[in-house]
Amino acid sequence: MTRKYFGTDGIRGRVGDGAITPDFVLRLGWAAGQVLGRHYEGRKRILMGKDTRISGYMFESALQAGLINAGIDVGLLGPMPTPAIAYLTRTFQAQAGIVISASHNPYYDNGIKFFSGQGTKLPDEIELEIEAELDKPMVTAGRLGKAKRIDDAAGRYIEFCKGTMPWGFSLAGLKIVLDCANGATYHIAPSVFQELGAVVEVIAAEPDGENINHECGSTKPGRLQARVLESGADLGIAFDGDGDRLVFVDHKGELVDGDEILYLIASYRKRSGGGCPGVVGTLMSNFGFELALQKLDIPFVRAKVGDRYVLEQMHQRGWTLGGENSGHIVCGDVTTTGDGIVAALQVLLALSEDGANLNELKQGMRKLPQHMINVRTSGKVSLDGNSEIDEAVKAAEAELAGRGRVLLRPSGTEPVVRVMVEGEEPPLVARLSEELAEVVKTALT
């Protein structure tokens, strides 16, 4: 069945449009409560958290009302990283967790995503059940739920993050600049790294409801790069608005993206004796990353873009490491979902054990030039059967002559088609991506 509202990462859009309205979210809370309530006996509880965007207050209230009307108790976590909500849902043995966030998007967007009681994505069949319930009249449960704020949520998650490191692990002597994207990690990440002994300088940790991801965070790391160089820090770490993605900046101010982060973790695990049975990337993973893993004799597969698909491949193969070049990294032997703080600590563990700096360790992988252009569309589109686009792709692939690749992919979270070309020659890659983007724009708009 085709989903009407749920995408690859929950329901997301511009506030006030489509499903991102208070009345819809009220009904969504009720529908989710009805469906999840049917799958469990006894008193039901769902945990709910949000990032720092201003509309979170409105949607938190609407969801809370809908859930209570369905007879569900609600545990309010307040502003918390998405992976923290997954973790706390498990530890509180709640039936589900809900995150109000649009991740790396601007403040005027928002979204709703769900975790199962195990801290994983909701199964497709449950999402379809919720969508079906939305079409039914909303009725009040005979026994209403209650809401309670969980005051020690932040402290619990901070201790969890620190506990993912070996006994005695210390960051003493390391100077780190943290960019919290004015988002959900603003009151979490500084404590984690300071309590592990690092000297921490923090930027973009003063959320006002509208500055989340604005010229900061993992999608806009320029400010962090400058600050690392100015302060003489050993490295910098930038999270996105909800804390499930990260990028590093080394002491030279150079960006270290998700592919390189995965390489650093995988190569360390291979060297340390614990081994790395394989890594899951995506269609967007750099070909240089794949080549670097081949040299280490580490198997690699590509999933469709989206953490849902990365996790599916990891589970199918029994592997514990996967992620996306955007910096969404899943360390499945530590937690159940992408976690920026946990992934950062895994990289810092590798640095600590090897006694090298970040710039030195990343030299084992050479990225091929990769150029991507986002072509905005009026809504969801399909590229199948478009002869004009197909011919343009074939022509581009012929020019690459087997020394690169072309990928066209509609985004699952926003109305754009991502046009990506990868190859050995930067001018050729840039020209082909621009030409393809123009063809896509003409054909679809």
Residue 367 — left, alpha, or beta (φ > 0 → left; ψ -120 to 50 → alpha)?
A: beta
- Check if the beta carbon of residue 55 is closer than 8 Å to that of residue 63: no
CA distance 150 to 88: 10
The partner residues of 75 in beta bridges, in order of sequence, read 47, 148
Beta strands 109-116; 11-14: pairing state: antiparallel
- Check if the beta carbon of residue 44 is closer than 8 Å to that of residue 145: yes
Of the listed 55, 101, 103, 218, which one is catalytic? 103
Annotation says 378 is catalytic: no
The alpha carbon of residue 351 and the mean position of all alpha carbons in its chain are separated, in whole angstroms, by 23
Run of H or E residues at 418: strand 416-423
* CB within 8 Å of 71: residues ≥ 6 apart: 33, 37, 44, 141, 142, 143, 144, 145
User: Which one-letter DSSP state was computed for residue 10?
Assistant: B
Hunting for tokens 């160089």 — which residue is that? 229
Nearest to 422 by CA among 406, 401, 437, 409: 406
Exposed, middle or buried, 372 (CB in 10 Å: 0-12/13-18/19+)? middle
CA distance 115 to 118: 8
Segment 299-308 long-range contacts (CB within 8 Å, at least 24 positions apart)? 305/8, 305/409, 305/412, 306/8, 306/9, 306/282, 306/412, 307/9, 307/121, 307/244, 307/337, 307/338, 308/8, 308/9, 308/121
Hunting for tokens 């006030």 — which residue is that? 16
Handedness of CA 197, 203, 206, 212 (dihedral sign): negative
User: Which one-letter DSSP state was computed for residue 18?
Assistant: T
- Check if the beta carbon of residue 67 is closer than 8 Å to that of residue 100: no
CA distance 288 to 301: 14
Nearest to 287 by CA among 223, 366, 380: 366
**Residues with active-site annotation:** 103
